[in-house]
Structure 1
Amino acid sequence: MTTQINDTRKAELLSTEVEHIDITKFDARPIVEAMGKMSFTSRDLGRATGIYNQMLDDPDCTVCLVIAGSTSAGGCMDLYAELVRSGMVDVIVATGATIVDMDFFEGLGHKHYQALEIPDDDTLRSLYIDRIYDTYIDEEALQNVDHTIFEIAETLAPKPYSSRAFIREMGKYLVEHGKKDNSLVKLAYEHDVPIFCPAFVDSSAGFGLVKHQVDAAKAGKPYLVLDAIADFRELTQIKIEAGTTGLLMIGGGVPKNFIQDTVVCAEILGHEDVAVHKYAVQITVADVRDGACSSSTLQEAASWGKVNTGIEQMVFAEAGSVMPLLASDAWHRHQDRMREPKRWARLFADT
C-alpha cells in the first residue's frame, strides 16, 4: 500500500464481526406455521416455506439455490453452507460477489464486520474499508482474494474453463489451504454440488484472472479463459438430465434469469419434453413496476415457458430477515430424513 493508513482508526471500525446465523440452533417451525395463518408477507413466507419443503420431499426434484445480493456478507453465509452440508441443495447459481468476495473470502480466514458507525465514505476509502450498506470489508483482505485467484489460475492448464470448473478448483484449494470449514465453496466441492456464476469476473475473481492473462501474454505464454457458453451448456445439461427441478431464489438479476433460461435452451437443443421448473420461490425487495428481471414475478416467467404457475411464491421481503426462518423450518423437518444427494458435479469429466 502506498498510502499511510490510520491503523488505530481502522481497527476501531473493524472491531465487531458479523456473526452468521446458525439455523440448527433454533426451530422456526412453530413461528412459520403461525405466520402462514396470518396475512401479507407473513402468509407469503409460510407458503414459500411449504413449497421449499415440497421440493425436498419430492425424490425426483433437483433443488437449485439461486443467490444474488449481499445476504452472505450480511449473516446468511453459514445458512447456505448448512443447506449444502445437509443435502438440501443440489445446484447453485450465484453472483461472483456471493461466491468469491463473500464466501471464498471468509474461507481464506477473512471476516465481514458490522458498521457501528458510518463515517464519510471518503474516510472509509482512505482507510481501505469497503462498505455494503451497514457492513464493512477490509479492502486489503479482499486484495488477498484477488491474488489467491491469480495463484490458482497459475496452477491450471491454459485452456477454457466454465465458471463451475474453476470454482471447483477454488473448493479444492480451500480443502487444502482454507481456514473455515463452513464454506459454501468448500462444502459444494466435497458434496459434488456444482456452482455456476454466469457473471463470474464481476468479482475479485476478475482482478486475479486479468492479472493471470496479462502476465502470461507479456511472457508469451498461453493462459486460461472462462467459457460463458460452457456455463449455459452445462447448466442446461443438468436441467435435461434432472427433469423435475425446483428453484429457491434469493434476489434476482443474472442468476435468476440464467437458471430459468435452461428450459428454453433445452427446447432449442431439441428436448421439447423438458418440463418447466416445477417449483419456484423468490425472495426479493425489487419493485415489479420497472420491468426488470430482478423484480419480474414468477407468474411472468410462465409466459416465457420457464416456470410452473401452480407451485410458486413471491416473497417481497429483505431476504436476510426471512431466509433464516424458511431454512430453519426446512432443516428441522428434514434433518432426520435420508434425501438422496444428486451429486450433479459428477456429470462432468473434470470431477
Structure 2
Amino acid sequence: WKRMIDGANLICLGLAGSLASAGLWPLVTWLVERGYVDFLASTAANITEDLLEQRGVTFHRVEPERVDDAVLWEDGFYRFYDHVVSAAEYDKMEDFTGEFFDHLAERWMEPTIPGVRFMREYGRWLEAQGLTGSVAATCARNGVPLFVPAAHDGPLAEGYRTARRKGPVVDFFKDYEIALQIMDRFMTPGRGTAAIFLGGGVPKDFIQIIATSVCAIRGGTASPHVAALQITTDNTVFGGLGGASVASECVSWGKEASDGSNIMLFTDVTIALPFLCQGLLEHYGPAHRRRRPPVGEEWRFGG
C-alpha cells in the first residue's frame, strides 16, 4: 500500500460485504480523506448502513452460536453475524434514502444518469443533510468517483420503492464506460493502476473486469494493475471470483501484471484493516495528505 501511495498509481479500492455495520466505515473515509484511495467500488450496504450510526442508532453485540434468530425477528432486530440493530431504525434509514430519489427527480431532468454521477449527487445530498462523515459524502467532497455496480442490492432499493418520484433511470453501462476511460488514462509509463480489495464480490469483479477491458482495447498488452492486495477469508480452492488469487489466477486474465506486486492476505478484514491503517498513520504521520492524481471529469458531469 505504501508503494501505491508513494507512486503515481491510480489506487482503486474494492469494498465488499457489509463492513459499514461492523464499524469500519470511519477507516474508509479516513483513507479517502488522506488521498490513499482514488477510485472506490462498493456494495450498496457500505454506502447506506454507515448512515445508521451517524443517525444515532446503536449496534449491539450478540453471540452467534447462542442467539435465537426467530426471537430476534419477533423482538424487532436484524442480525449481522455477531451484532444486531433495531429493525425499526433500519427501516427508517431505508425510507430516508427514499427522500434522495425525490430530491434527484426534482433536479435531474435527463431520462438517465450514470451510476457514478448518481452516487456523487447522493453524497452531496447526504452532506447537505448533515451526514458529512458518510462514505458517499466523503467521496463527493474529496473528488473520488464512487461506483456501486449493484446499487439496488441493498437499502437503496427500498428507498426507491418508497420514493414518491422515481427520477432518472440509472445507467450502469455508462459507469463501465466512464471507469474504462479513467483506468485507460493511467496506462502510461511510470503510472498504471493499483487495486486493494477488502473482500471480493461485485466490487472486486467490477475493478477487475475494467482492467481486462483496458488490456483488450490496447491489444492484449500488460495489465493496468501493476500492484494488487486482497484481504479475504475466501479460499481459492472453491473456484469463486472472491477467492481467485490476484497473485496467480487473475494474472491469466490480464487483470494483474505478471511482474506486479500481487499479494493475497487470508485473514478477516475487520482485523486486518485497522492494523493496516494504524501502520499507514505511524509511517506517514497524522498530517500527511497524498496529492491525488487527476482522474478526469467524466464521472462528475456525465449525463
Q: TM-score, normalised by structure 2?
A: 0.87
Query: Does the alignment pair 1:250 with 2:202?
Result: no
The answer to whether residue 262 in structure 2 is matched with residue 318 in structure 1 is no
SS at structure 2 position matched to 1:122: helix
Alignment of 1:332-351 (within 5 A): 332-335=282-285, 336-342=287-293, 344=295, 346-350=297-301
Deviates more, 1:88-97 or 1:136-145: 136-145
1:22 is matched with: none
1:238 is aligned with what amino acid?
I
1:41 paired residue number: none
Distance in 2 (CA, whole Å) between partners of 1:245 and 1:142 is 37
- CA gap of 1:347–1:73, structure 2 versus 1, over 3 A, is same
Q: 1:323 to 1:150 in 2, by over 3 A?
A: same
The answer as to 2:149 corresponding to 1:164 is no
DSSP 3-state at the match of 2:57: coil
8 Å CA contact retained: 1:192, 1:346: no
Residues 94 and 255 in structure 1, CA contact (< 8 A), matched pair in contact too: yes
Q: Output aligned runs, 1:277-288, within 5 Å.
A: 277-288=225-236
Q: Deviation per CA, 1:98-131, whole angstroms, max 9, x where unpaired?
A: 112x223334443433226853111111122110
Matched ranges for 1:34-49 at <5 A:
none
**Does the residue aligned with 2:90 lie in a helix, a strand or coil?**
helix
Instruction: Give distance in 2, aligned partners of 1:111 and 1:167.
Output: 26
Q: Secondary structure at the match of 1:249?
A: strand
Secondary structure of residue in 2 paired with 1:294: helix
- Mark the CA change 1:349 to 1:326 in structure 2 (over 3 Å): closer, same or farther: closer
Kindly state the Cα deviation for residue 65 of structure 1 after the two structures are TM-superposed. Answer: 1.3
- In the alignment, residue 212 of structure 2 is paired with which amino acid? V
Check if 1:75 corresponds to 2:23.
yes
Opposite residue 271 of structure 2, the aligned amino acid is S
Pick from 147, 170, 173 the counterpart of residue 196 of structure 1.
147
Q: Are residue 187 (structure 1) and residue 138 (structure 2) matched?
A: yes
Inter-partner Cα distance in structure 1 for 2:185 and 2:209: 15
Partners of 2:59 and 2:174 lie apart in 1 by 32
Q: State how far apart, in whole Å, the 2-side matches of 1:160 and 1:343 are.
A: 26
Which residue number in structure 1 is paired with residue 208 of structure 2? 260
| Higher strand fraction (1 or 2) | 2
Tell me which structure has the larger Cα radius of gyration: 1
Measure, in 1, the Cα distance between the counterparts of 2:56 and 2:217.
43
2:114 and 2:174 in contact (8 A); partners too: yes
1:301 matched to which residue of 2? 250
State the partner residue of 1:106. 53
**1:84 corresponding residue in structure 2:** 32
Name the residue aligned to 1:55.
4
1:306-328, CA deviations, whole angstroms, 9 ceiling, x for partnerless residues? 10233010000011111111121
Q: SS of the residue aligned with 1:278?
A: strand
Aligned residue identity for 2:168: L
Classify 1:145/1:152 alpha carbon distance in 2 versus 1 (closer, same or farther; 3 Å).
Answer: same
**Structure 2: distance between partners of 1:168 and 1:106:** 21
Gaps of at least 5 residues in structure 2 are none
Q: Shift in Å at residue 263 of structure 1?
A: 1.9
Give the letter aligned to residue 251 of structure 2: A
CA deviations on 1:270-301 (whole Å, 9 max, x unpaired) are: 57667430110000001211110011111110
Q: Structure 1 residue 199: deviation in Å?
A: 0.8
Percent pairwise identity: 26
Q: 1:183 to 1:271 in 2, by over 3 A?
A: farther
Distance 2:44 2:151 in 1: 5
Query: How many residues were matched structurally?
Result: 290
1:166 maps to a residue whose letter is F
Q: Is the 8 A contact 1:67 1:94 kept in 2?
A: yes
Higher helix share: 1
Determine the structure 2 residue equivalent to 1:115.
Answer: 62
Q: CA deviation at 1:160?
A: 1.7
CA RMSD, 1 decimal: 2.3
How far did 1:302 drift?
A: 0.5
CA distance in 1, matches of 2:125, 2:60: 25
2:143 corresponds to which letter in structure 1? D
1:97 is matched with: 45
What secondary structure does 1:327 align onto? helix
Distance 1:188 1:246 in 2: 18
